[in-house]
Amino acid sequence: MARTVDARGFSCPQPVMMALKALAEADEALIVEVDHETAAENVERACREKGRSSTIRKTDSGYSVEVSPK
């Protein structure tokens, strides 16, 4: 099961920091919910730099970045 981080309502760099904190705490899959495309792209880039693959999906409430488990 994937852990969910709700970063909606936060502006950058807060969503990236929240995602990186969650990545450091566990090797499981992660879903990061954000408000806007720029935040989704920044989270995706940060996860990729940590060796995790991810995909961005448009949702009704913004964007969802789905990060693979380690």
Q: CATH 3.40.630.10: does it fit domain 3-67? A: no
Closest by alpha carbon to 5, among 27, 31, 29? 31
Q: What is the pLDDT of residues 19-33, one digit of tens each?
A: 999 999 988 999 999
Return the closest-CA partner of residue 7 out of 44, 33, 46: 33
Domain limits, the chain: 3-67
Taking phi first (over 0 means left), then psi (-120 to 50 degrees means alpha), and beta for anything else, what does residue 51 get?
Answer: left
pLDDT over 90 (residue 70):
no
Position 1 scores a pLDDT of 79
Contacts of 34 (CB under 8 A, 6+ apart): 7, 8, 10, 15, 40, 43, 62, 63, 64, 65
User: Tell me: the pLDDT tens digits for 2-20?
Assistant: 999 999 999 999 999 999 9
